[in-house]
Structure formats: C-alpha cells, structure tokens
Structure 1
C-alpha cells in the first residue's frame, strides 16, 4: 500500500521540472487596452516553498507531483521562498493583433536594446508575471 505524501510543517521543498527546457517565464505588459507578453524559456529552474504555507489551500503534494499539465503549472502563484532559472534558450514577444507591424518592430528593437526599462519608458506597465513549469515535477525536501 502506497502512502500518500503530504506537505509537512517546518520543511522546505524544492520544486523543479523533471525535463530540461520546461521552464517559461512570462512578463505581461499593458498600455491602455493593449497587452503584450514577453516569454523566455529556460533550460532549468526551481522554486522553494515552505510546507507550512503550502498547507493553506494550495495543490496537495501528490496532485502537484502527478500533474503533467500541458498548460504548465504556474509556480509563481505559490508562496515561494526562493527561485532560480538558468540558461535562457529562447525568447519572444506576443503582440495584440491590432498593433501595426511598424509598432511591433519599434517595440521589439527597444526591448532588445533597453530591456524592460525601454518598454516602461514608452508607457507600457508590467501588470503580471507567470513562471510556468511544464510536465511532471520533482518535489524534494531540502
């Protein structure tokens, strides 16, 4: 009989994807009614969470360990203690369909020259971010 694993008080857990290139960090910006998303994929990454906080209504340890959700698990929504993502492998910006090609080109060149500061200087405000882990997850006590 397999015993169900549960979050434990006083224990720190490290959560990471089992598969390489399964970490995607998304920054969401708005200006007026327009929204753009900057996505960067990483070779690896992890977050740490405290068992005490995970007992407060988040996914159970078993649900999280067994989840191979194709939409990814947004670990940014967890009460993280620490995080790291390493070795960016690809990136891109998703634009609204209503944004002209010229505006897209301008935003892209500003982003790649000045980073997020360039977007914010043009009036784009970061309103949200997500850190998605895809596939099955490793969850280890640290």
Structure 2
C-alpha cells in the first residue's frame, strides 16, 4: 500500500530517478537526530547530465528552472532512499540551497531555484515550504547548470 506522499507523487505523474552514488569521498545524506542533510544533487537523470553550461549563455531562466526541478527530483530520490521508502516520515522541508552556474551578468538565480522549490511544495504541500538560498557561481562539477542541496526534518522510524 502506498503512503500519502508516494500516492501524491503517483497522482502528479512524477517519476523519481535512481539515487546517485557519491562521486568522491562523501556520503549522499546524513541523519543527525531529526534532521536529514542531503548532499548537493546535480541536474542529471540516472547518470546522464542534462544541462551542462551556464545560465545567461547556454540557458535561459526557464531552462534553468527545469534543471533545478531535476536536481529536486534527485534530492527526493535520496530522501526516499534515506527513509527506506517511507516519505511519510518527512515532517518538513527545512532548507534548500541552490548554486547556479551563471555568467556574471545573469541575475535570475532566484527564479531558477523556483523550479526546485515548487516541486517540493507540489509534493509535500505546506510541509514543502522552506527557507532557501540561491546564488550564482562561476562553475559547478561537470559544468552542470544547477546544483541543489537540502535539509529535511524527519520523524523517527
């Protein structure tokens, strides 16, 4: 039987990618008390990089928002893995931080991050509303356009 959040994901016709493995000497998530800290997730789908390049050069704000929503799907996949498939344990999405690979004259980082924020609100409703950071950076791993990390409050198993 599907939990409420998994049923909502199905209702929204959202597919989750496979959780990625770390590309270095770190873990994809860490649980400390009631907080789940999530490593930054890139805009890739099952290992395929989808958005490589800079916002303000190769991509516009709308494309960047799509890249951020893919990062959010990867985060959600890691949450699902960390909670052994029980997304109903999510109490609250606390914070998202987004890093946007952008040209010096691009100023739409906040609009780009709306792609990630809106996905969490769509899936979790009020519990999906969070604080947020959106910054422009000069480069990201593998030249991806966006990377998003998060902190989630969870209930005990």
Task: Output the TM-score relative to the length of structure 1.
Answer: 0.29
Higher relative contact order (CA 8 A, sep 6+): 1
Greater helix share, structure number: 2
* Higher share in strand: 1
TM-score by length of 2: 0.27
